Amino acid sequence: MTTLLRKKPLPEVDEWVERALKSDVGVGFHDEFSQWCFAKVQELRDEFQFYGFHTVEELDFMETPEGKAQSEKNNEIEAKKDRAESTITAGGKKGFTPNQVHKFMYQGLLE
């Protein structure tokens, strides 16, 4: 997480960028490379699901009657916490969840 929140690139990233800027690569290469990067990001994004932080075992447990009861209880607790949070934040707005932060960081989308 600290790497993602850094304001300044790592030294090795700076070196890589410097080398790339100094290299004598034509503009056509950059266009082609940009298209490849975009396609790769789309491909990787489709492989991942940014819906939560559950393991396969936890997801299987949530399908059982005990898991559904636990989920309901957790949802009630979350709803209570959300109501409490909205009373203390400016304008009654709710903070972002970790999933919303990740989605914004990787896709640039706010829900």
Using one digit for the tens of pLDDT, what is the confidence trace for 39-87?
888 887 777 665 667 777 888 888 999 999 998 998 999 889 878 877 7
- Phi/psi class of residue 62: alpha, beta or left (left: φ > 0; alpha: ψ in -120 to 50)? alpha
**pTM of the predicted model as reported, rounded to 2 decimal places:** 0.35
Structure tokens at 103: 């989605």
Structure tokens at 80: 């209570």
Range(s) of the domain holding residue 94: 24-107
Residue 19 forms part of a structural domain: no
Identity of the amino acid at 61: F
Q: How far apart are CA 33 and CA 75, in angstroms?
A: 45
CB within 8 A of 106, min separation 6: which ones? 45, 50
Residue 41 forms part of a structural domain: yes
Residue 7 forms part of a structural domain: no
Residue 3 forms part of a structural domain: no
Using one digit for the tens of pLDDT, what is the confidence trace for 6-37?
777 778 878 877 877 777 655 566 678 888 88
Identity of the amino acid at 31: D
Looking at the 3D structure of the chain, how many domains does it have?
1
pLDDT surpasses 80 at 101: yes
